[in-house]
């Protein structure tokens, strides 16, 4: 890169970071600003601005505020006050936003429950929420019914959007309330650092944990998105991600509402309707998850798919092999990839749209953004320490665990933890570079180049050892996804008796007949021998979370026994060098050691 290009890159980075910092400068944890104040200000100044567009409904800021005032008075009338928790189980719709906005007005708290959960998982999230009231979308009654007998406390159920036997009519109760401005005095004495919502981890590696999200963090996430995308009052943010999740429900939504812009809501993501909606509702931005972009890239071509007004989009998980084709196909001027977890203090933004990068921290910003990558032992799943007991910073382009300094004197690097103290402690790494320091553990393997760009490598626990080498599931997945006939790939390691480490296995969604010879040829060309998957499970569809993350826990447990798995399994047979059908006889020979892989 020449001097001119370098100067241009640094100018863009500095101006973008200054815009971001300017957006969040007034949010201080010891201040009194709350989420309610942020939106209420726009409702009072620009009541006729469009706030939400949903199907055939248009809701102004004035109407949004009136609806939230009714929610606040409903809560007060039912004995819900400051610090009390209400559980929200609802699909994407305007009532979702008016509910958390209204709850914020009187200083209560909200548990944002994944609306895909049912049975024990749903019961678990409700039990740990501490809520006495549940606002339940009538469309989700079957999910709730499957969990009701597993609840550990009595909760009053309020049904929204229809009648539910045994539940109170929430819509009727709200309609009876006064919509005039709810007294600001109700929030007197509140601090920005007070808890506001519980947002739950995705549950890909076990039962979900409830992350504490204060008004401070809620606003910082949304305003961070606003600053990174430079969203303006005239913008319209298209939102198909679930509102119970931080990326969509906080990042994209609050980015728009904090700037007087509009949120275009869709009940659920649809690849076929995505850009038609963007065109119909004049969207100028959208929020994404990486798998959403993959689905869009695999969707049939639409003659109108480039006739949109999108100028920017923001999200995370956009894989390098998808980025270029996705951006080119849909004529997207700018993509802002970010990195961060709901509860963590490591936040990165790729403000100059460098394909594949998840963010950047040049050397001159290390003090302001104390994020580091430390050497990591994949086999033992722990950081590597030197003879003095301290962690070792990874070299350029070396994968290691990303960590963020926890500094109690700096609110932007705080860690608010979970509702469970033990789970909170597990995420804190102590005595990292000096005695007594504390750093947040992301649980992710990242690497950084000499220009300060960060790249995602894998989740810790997903990377595994085979033949004495580290195998990154994300890298294997990228290669598989480029092979004709493979639509999706979920890579993991499975234990094989007598073998050192875990053998590579992938669950793949196949369109039509898979050319096995071509599969072997590409894997031999693009992957070292130790990284080539031994087993491939051919599935009809991939099981994902509500935010499109692949589930691996059950796949790992099920292993590769063809008698226990209904899906066809093929394997890299060392005798033939080809991917052959895995039979019960071959499986038995692998298990007893007759066949060594």
Domains in the chain with CATH codes: 3-343 (3.40.50.12780), 364-458 (2.30.38.10), 466-592 (3.30.300.30)
Angle formed at CA 111 by CA 336 and CA 317, multiple of 5 degrees: 25
Beta bridge partners of 83: none
Cα of 262 vs its chain's centroid, Å? 22
Cα of 316 vs its chain's centroid, Å? 7
Residue whose C-alpha is closest to residue 548's, from 316, 344, 328: 316
d(CA 346, CA 583): 46
Contact 466, 475 (CB under 8 A): no
Q: What local confidence, expressed as pLDDT, does residue 411 receive? A: 62
Residue showing tokens 């719709």: 93
Cα of 480 vs its chain's centroid, Å? 23
Q: For residue 110, give the H/E element and its range.
A: strand 109-112
Query: Residue 452: how many CB atoms within 10 A of its CB?
Result: 18
d(CA 217, CA 38): 13
Q: How many separate helices (H) and strands (E) can be counted in the chain?
A: 17, 30
Q: From first to last of its 597 residues, what are the pLDDT tens digits of the chain?
A: 678 888 888 888 888 888 888 888 888 888 999 999 999 999 999 999 999 999 999 999 999 999 999 999 999 999 999 999 999 999 999 999 999 999 999 999 999 998 888 888 889 999 999 999 999 999 999 999 999 999 998 999 999 999 999 999 999 999 999 999 999 999 999 999 999 999 987 654 456 788 889 999 999 999 999 999 999 999 999 999 999 989 999 999 999 999 999 999 999 999 999 999 999 999 999 999 888 898 899 899 999 999 999 999 999 989 888 899 999 999 999 999 999 877 778 889 998 889 999 999 998 888 888 899 999 987 777 999 999 999 999 999 999 999 999 987 666 777 777 777 887 888 899 999 999 999 999 988 999 999 999 999 877 877 787 876 778 888 888 889 889 889 889 999 998 887 777 899 999 999 888 899 999 999 988 887 888 999 999 988 877 666 556 667 778 889 999 988 999 999 999 999 999 999 999 999 999 888 888
Contact 61, 73 (CB under 8 A): no
Give 78's Cβ-side CA count (13 Å radius): 25
d(CA 224, CA 218): 10
Q: What local confidence, expressed as pLDDT, does residue 295 receive? A: 86
- Strand 535-539 relative to strand 502-510, pairing: parallel
Beta bridge partners of 492: 505
Q: What local confidence, expressed as pLDDT, does residue 544 receive? A: 63
d(CA 438, CA 404): 9
d(CA 563, CA 559): 11
d(CA 149, CA 86): 19
Q: For residue 277, give the H/E element and its range.
A: helix 274-280
Question: For the chain, what percentages of helix, strand and coil (3-state, to nearest 5) are there?
Answer: 35, 25, 40
Report if pTM > 0.95: no
Residue showing tokens 């989420």: 35
Q: Does residue 17 sit in helix, strand or coil?
A: helix
Residue showing tokens 């009052």: 233
């Amino acid at each position: 890169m020449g001097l001119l290009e370098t100067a241009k890159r640094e100018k863009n980075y500095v101006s973008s970071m200054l815009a971001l910092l300017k957006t969040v400068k007034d949010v201080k944890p010891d201040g009194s600003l709350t989420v309610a104040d942020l939106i209420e200000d726009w409702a009072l100044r620009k009541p006729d601005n469009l706030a939400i567009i949903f199907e055939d409904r248009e809701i102004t800021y004035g109407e949004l505020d009136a609806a939230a005032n009714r929610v606040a008075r409903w809560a007060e009338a039912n004995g819900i006050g400051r610090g009390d928790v209400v559980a929200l189980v609802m699909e994407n719709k305007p009532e979702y936003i008016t509910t958390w906005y209204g709850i914020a007005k009187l200083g209560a708290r909200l548990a944002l429950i994944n609306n895909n959960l049912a049975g024990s998982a749903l019961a678990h999230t409700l039990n740990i929420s501490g809520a006495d009231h549940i606002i339940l979308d009538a469309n989700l009654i079957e999910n709730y019914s499957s969990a009701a007998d597993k609840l550990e406390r009595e909760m009053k159920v309020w049904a929204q959007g229809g009648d539910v036997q045994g539940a109170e009519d929430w819509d009727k109760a709200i309609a009876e309330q006064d919509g005039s401005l709810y007294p600001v005095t109700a929030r007197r004495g509140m601090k920005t650092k007070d808890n506001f919502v519980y947002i739950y981890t995705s549950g890909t590696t076990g039962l979900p944990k409830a992350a504490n999200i204060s008004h401070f963090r809620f606003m910082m996430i949304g305003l961070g998105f606003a600053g990174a995308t430079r969203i303006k009052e005239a913008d319209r943010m298209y939102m198909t991600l679930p509102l119970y999740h931080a990326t969509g429900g906080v990042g994209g939504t609050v980015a728009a509402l904090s700037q007087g812009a509009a949120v275009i809501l869709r009940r659920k993501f649809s690849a076929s309707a995505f850009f038609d909606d963007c065109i119909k509702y004049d969207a100028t931005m959208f929020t994404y998850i990486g798998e959403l972009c993959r689905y869009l890239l695999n969707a049939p071509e639409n003659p109108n798919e480039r006739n949109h007004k999108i100028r920017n989009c923001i999200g995370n998980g956009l894989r390098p092999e998808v980025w270029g084709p996705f951006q080119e196909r849909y004529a997207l001027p700018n993509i802002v990839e970010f990195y961060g977890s709901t509860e963590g203090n490591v936040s990165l933004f790729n403000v100059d749209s460098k394909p594949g990068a998840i963010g950047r921290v040049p050397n001159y910003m290390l003090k302001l953004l104390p994020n580091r990558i430390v050497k990591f032992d994949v086999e033992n799943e722990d950081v590597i320490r030197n003879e003095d007991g301290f962690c070792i910073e990874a070299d350029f382009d070396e994968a290691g665990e990303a960590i963020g300094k926890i500094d109690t004197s700096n609110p932007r690097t705080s860690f608010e933890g979970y509702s469970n103290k033990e789970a909170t402690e597990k995420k804190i790494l102590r005595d990292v570079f000096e005695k007594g320091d504390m750093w947040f553990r992301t649980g992710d393997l990242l690497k950084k180049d000499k220009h300060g760009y960060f790249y995602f490598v894998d989740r810790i626990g997903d990377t595994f050892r085979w033949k004495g080498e580290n195998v990154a599931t994300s890298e294997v997945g990228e290669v598989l996804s480029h092979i004709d006939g493979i639509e999706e790939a979920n890579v993991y390691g499975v234990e094989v008796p007598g073998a050192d480490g875990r053998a590579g296995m992938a669950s793949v969604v196949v369109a039509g007949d898979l050319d096995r010879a071509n599969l072997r040829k590409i894997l031999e060309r693009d992957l070292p021998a130790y990284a080539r998957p031994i087993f491939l499970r051919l599935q009809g569809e991939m099981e994902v979370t509500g935010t499109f993350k692949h589930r691996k826990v059950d796949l790992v447990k099920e292993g590769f026994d063809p008698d226990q798995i209904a899906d066809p399994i093929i394997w890299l047979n060392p005798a033939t060098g080809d991917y052959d059908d895995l039979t019960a006889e071959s499986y038995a020979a692998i298990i007893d050691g007759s066949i060594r892989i």
